[in-house]
Structure 1
Amino acid sequence: MRRLDLLDDFAILLVDDHPLFRDGLTAALRHHVPGLRVHAVGTMASALEMLGSAGDKFDLVLLDYRLPGTDGLYCAELLIQQYPGIAVGLMSGLDDPTLPERAREAGLIAYLSKSLEISSLIEHLRRLAMGEPVFSAPDPPQQAFDATRADPMNLTARQLDVLRAMASGSSNKEIARTMGISPATVKKHLEAVFAKLGATNRLQAAMLARTVLGDPPP
């Protein structure tokens, strides 16, 4: 029987116009916290439309700081005025030490750096689920990947090699040529990797590779 999680049935609306980050983060959160409900849109207009029809179903709105034609802080203030009962947080990949305090002063409940490791992000979301504000700094730089270190996904050394090559953008044929194996063998390794990561395609696997490899995919 699965242990209950604070994030079970917690609903997040993610607003980010970068499809790679938006879809990758959504897949990673759903994989690591199956009970978490994550909905993602690419524009403020889409977010307002969704909130207008189902605003009471969301516990937290996470806005990217840079949105087309505007910025997340301005959008957050509009949301707080229009939906005073909903929690709003800001996410950014900018190295701007003023953003956490600016978000706090604007009445937001959170500032989350996009450089956070997925485990740190999930812990911050648990704190938010308890009603505790979170204004985070980026995680410290990770050490270089060590193939001998324990792998939480139980990938074999060869599967890790294939995953690293795929996350760097190599095709199956390029991976096969580099590793001296057949494309069919590469395909079998990737099928096993997808199953262990809970990914359904190469994009999701590349984003989840950050958790396993400790480096962001390109």
Structure 2
Amino acid sequence: MHILIADDHELVRDTICAFLEREGDVRVSTASDFGEAIAKIDTEGPYDLVILDYNMPGMEGLESLAHAKDRNMGNPVGIISGTANRSVAEEALAAGAAGFLPKTLAAKSLIHAVRFMAAGEQYAPIDFMRAQDGDDDNPLAPKLSKRESEVLKGLMRGASNKEIARELDLQEVTVKLHVKTLCRKLDARNRTQAAMIAKDAGMC
């Protein structure tokens, strides 16, 4: 199994490499920024798995994720971060990331996550994904991330994806992904029904 770890923190790269290379069947390449990661994918890839630091130089959020997936011939690309919250993790997963790894993840869990993602499954630590990004008293809060709640409020106002994207400083494609996720979580046929469900639940 050949993996690329792209992170601008040398200590993080070296630590992850040490954990993975103990497995015997794992070969690890590294990059210190997004540009170097793409260059290595082009020359050494496609890799069985690419892991990108969400905040390293050259990374531009979900656009870079999509670009890396394309260059890696559709093979899994995951995100690692020491600062991103649950909303960012959910956005990445909704956009097709193979997984989201907090840098606080234990070594055994990291190895499990890498094998899980390389096998084509999507990984995110349950405890991290259950954490709340902020206080929200609306009755749908247990089902929704903070970002999803913000998008849903936009739907309730009748705002378009473009308008919501501008208000929340997101890409329009990201809002579209959130709307799709909201419809699934609320068991709604479309955005209008999702807004009606939210209003009936007393969300304001």
TM > 0.5 fold call = yes
- Letter of the 2:63 counterpart: Y
Give 5+ residue unaligned stretches, structure 1.
1-9, 140-218
Verify: 1:96 aligned to 2:85, yes or no. Answer: yes
Q: Does 1:43 align with 2:23?
A: no
**Match of 1:14, SS?**
strand
How large is the RMSD of aligned CA atoms in angstroms?
A: 1.9
Q: Does residue 10 of structure 2 align to residue 15 of structure 1?
A: no
Which residue identity lines up with residue 44 of structure 1 in the other structure? F
Task: Encode CA deviations 1:115-169: one digit per residue, 9 max, x unaligned.
Answer: 1100011111222233211122567xxxxxxxxxxxxxxxxxxxxxxxxxxxxxx
- Counterpart Cα distance in 1 of 2:59 and 2:43: 23
SS in 1 for 2:50: strand
The correspondence of residues 62-141 of structure 1 with structure 2, limited to 5 A, is 62-94=51-83, 96-137=85-126
Q: Structure 2 regions of 5+ residues with no counterpart?
A: 129-204
3-state SS, counterpart of residue 89 of structure 1: strand
Sequence identity, in percent? Answer: 34
Q: What secondary structure sits across from 1:12 in the alignment?
A: strand
State how 1:117-196 maps to structure 2 within 5 Å.
117-137=106-126
Report how many residues are paired: 128
In structure 2, distance between residues paired with 1:34 and 1:21: 20
Could you tell me which amino acid in structure 2 is paired with residue 81 of structure 1? D
Alignment partners' CA distance in 2, 1:61 and 1:101: 18
1:90–1:17 distance in 2 versus 1, CA, 3 Å? same
CA contact (8 A) 2:38 2:71 kept: no
- Once the two structures are overlaid, the 10-residue window that deviates more, 100-109 or 67-76, is 67-76
* Alpha carbons of structure 1 residues 103 and 124: separation in structure 2 relative to 1, 3 Å: same
Aligned counterpart in structure 2 of residue 52 of structure 1, from 42, 51, 54: 42
Distance of 1:12 and 1:112 partners within structure 2: 15
Secondary structure at the counterpart of residue 40 of structure 1: strand
Select the residue among 9, 24, 29 that pairs with 1:34: 24
1:75 Cα offset (Å):
1.6
Deviation at 1:26, TM superposition (A): 0.8
Q: CA–CA distance in 2 between the matches of 1:12 and 1:64?
A: 14
Pairwise CA distance, 1:70: 3.4
Tell me if structure 1 keeps the 8 A contact 2:42–2:71. Answer: no
Are residues 35 and 65 of structure 1, via their aligned partners in 2, closer, same or farther at CA, if it must alter by over 3 Å? same
Q: Does 1:24 align with 2:29?
A: no
Counterpart residue type for residue 50 of structure 2: V
Question: Does the residue aligned with 2:52 lie in a helix, a strand or coil?
Answer: strand
Answer whether contact 1:88 1:108 (CA < 8 A) is retained.
yes
Q: Distance in 2 between matches of 1:79 and 1:69?
A: 12
CA drift of 1:79 comes to: 1.4
CA distance in 1, matches of 2:76, 2:84: 24
Tell whether the 8 Å contact from 2:34 to 2:58 is kept in structure 1 after alignment: no
Q: Counterparts of 2:86 and 2:73 in 1: how far apart (Å)?
A: 27
- State the partner residue of 1:183: none
| Maintained 8 Å contact 2:21/2:28 | yes
